[in-house]
């Protein structure tokens, strides 16, 4: 685990996911000097994929799922970080509430949370650029070939 190696003195820097980064900072093990969320621009960090055949056979399920995601996105956008932290705390059993609130506030202020269920073409291309620069993309894929925003747009228009 990179975090343990860093904490024991190996290396001058490390990339950590939250809440580990904020815990390290609070415990005096390091300082957050940059955020991938700010430096990378808008990236579809979390996305949900389905086979086209599943979507065709289960459009009601896909629509309900998308509606739930969008409802949650709007809720996070409309409520303060303290309230959001309280709601999600049970998913971070070993993390103090103040750390969760700090992370939620940081993510909100830097625009890391998606505000809607649409994966737009700029985000898609940015993700491919990052993967390409890392040498992990064997070939680019056209946005229109893999991304279907029809249901997401319908849910947002309700």
Residue 6 reports pLDDT greater than 80: yes
- Residue at token pair 């990339």: 15
Residues 112-131: what's their mean pLDDT? Answer: 93
The answer to whether 81 and 101 are in contact (CB under 8 A) is yes
Cβ(70)–Cβ(117) below 8 Å? yes
Q: How far apart are CA 62 and CA 110, in angstroms?
A: 29
- 131-158 residue pLDDT tens: 999 999 999 999 999 999 999 999 999 9
Measured between its terminal Cα atoms, the distance across the chain in Å is 45
Tell me how far apart the alpha carbons of residues 48 and 61 are, in angstroms, rounded to a whole number: 13
Which whole number is the average pLDDT over 112-141? Answer: 94
pTM to 2 decimal places: 0.82
Q: Tell me the two tokens of residue 146.
A: 């893999």
Q: 26: pLDDT confidence band, cut at 50, 70 and 90?
A: very high
Tokens (6 digits) for 54: 């599943």
Query: Region 15-38: what's the mean pLDDT?
Result: 88
């Amino acid at each position: 685990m990179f975090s343990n190696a860093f904490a024991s003195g190996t290396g001058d820097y490390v990339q950590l996911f939250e809440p580990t980064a904020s815990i390290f900072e609070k415990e005096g093990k390091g300082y957050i000097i940059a955020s991938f969320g700010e430096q990378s621009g808008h990236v579809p960090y979390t996305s949900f994929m389905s086979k086209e055949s599943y979507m065709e056979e289960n459009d009601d399920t896909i629509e309900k799922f998308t509606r739930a995601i969008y409802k949650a996105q709007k809720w996070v956008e409309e409520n303060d970080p303290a309230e959001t932290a309280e709601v999600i705390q049970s998913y971070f059993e070993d993390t103090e509430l103040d750390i969760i609130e700090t992370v939620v506030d940081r993510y909100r202020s830097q625009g890391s949370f998606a505000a809607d269920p649409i994966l737009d073409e700029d985000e898609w291309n940015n993700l491919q650029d990052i993967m390409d620069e890392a040498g992990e993309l064997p070939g680019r894929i056209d946005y229109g070939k893999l991304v279907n925003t029809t249901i997401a747009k319908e849910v947002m228009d309700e």
